[in-house]
Structure 1
Amino acid sequence: MRILLVEDDISLQHNLKVQLTKQGYSVDLASDGEEGLFQCVEYNYDAAIIDVGLPKLDGISLIKKVREKQITFPIIILTARDNWQDKVEGLDAGGDDYLTKPFQTEELVARLNALIRRASGKASPIIQNGVFSLNTSSFEVKKNQQTITLSGYEYKLFEYLMLHPGEIKSKTVLTEHLYDQDFDRDSNVIEVFIRRLRKKLDPDNTYRLIETLRGQGYRLSILTDPVTESYGE
């Protein structure tokens, strides 16, 4: 998942990027509201984390402008202001959730995961598609009762496809959601990861899990086989 972090505190910005990257996110950075607005318009994100007290364009105004442009990805507001009026103002501007500084990174990650799932119509951390399931909390992938081991980027790609089953996703879109803005977008790495996923998840092409649509991209098939496994408590 690719997210945008708009935060002018460079130390906090760095620490959050490190922690979010460890959780499998690709993180783009902006240090002021104007830069944040440019990136929101220019790139396709799964979510954004926006601080209220930004230079050049404050966080509330930034969120309003983003929503005026019909950009709908979920937004978490970071605020050092601990009063309900500021929180209400942020939510009314178009924010989806908020955290008051200081906060625990684990809580930020949990809220971020939940917002991205809900934006894709998924309420549970366990995403199921036929005999395949993926747990966004434990990063566990299963086929029937068998756990499938994926690399970090294989998991990120499969997670994105599982959140958008039946949708055609181009190589460009997949690359944008796996890597930050500095990645070489002409790379054929997506083709490599797709081949690896097919080999690990559906080696005999029994389920026709990932379709290639020539000139368009890839699509995760919507499967109907029931999944009866449990991840336990």
Structure 2
Amino acid sequence: MRVDSTVTAALIHEPSDSSLLWDAVRVTVRLLQQTEALGSTIPWHDHRRAAKKRARAIEYIRCRPKRIKHYRELLKITRTTLSSLQQASEQLPLTAGSAGELWQAQLRHYRRSSSGSSPRPNGGSWPGDPVPAGEKLVSLFEPHADIIVKGSRDVDYGHKLNLTTGRSGLILDLVIEAGNPTDSERLLPMLERHIAFYGEPPRQAAADGGYASRENLSGAKARGIRDMAFTRSAASPPWLSI
């Protein structure tokens, strides 16, 4: 049996605060357009062109003072659009019926996705402020996506998977992880799942060097695995060859 991990990517664009704010304006305008068909009479203005222009400027301009200026303007546009949406939500006619309930459900979904009504999707007092990875929003449309970094490779946005395979390569078990746990944290739980599913431990097991630790080696032996092997690398500890 072999234990390995990989990442399945979410279908989202590269996230940034400015792109998320632009997404928020697009979604908000779409919801506002729907309220007109539901009988809302709240006046509002379509700021999509202005928001897109500033989001593009933030992406391509390298002068920090100019980027901050555009960012302030994008925040103002987003706040204004969200304010119009809030007014429309409060005054949506009760006669809207099931269509109105569906609209309210969409509104609740996007509010949860953006963690409420915060004008900055990823918190902090200003761009560049550190935000813990677990608290970052990477997409309004796929809010469940995690930030995954494996080693020194590129950052992925999606979900980390841990899986076990047999000698033929057939997948025996697969776990969609929450967040980005280290491989070494997941070896023993994956072995325990295998034993629970199949009623006995595998005679031999292998895993990448990222799963290697003295505790995992001892734990695998204690669970009845006769041969436990970890893939060596230049950074592997000397005891790994024992």
> Relative CO higher for 1 or 2, CA cutoff 8 Å, sep ≥ 6?
2
| TM-score computed with the length of structure 2 as normaliser | 0.22
| TM-score computed with the length of structure 1 as normaliser | 0.23
Structure having the higher strand fraction is 1
Structure having the higher helix fraction is 2
Rg: which structure is higher?
Answer: 2
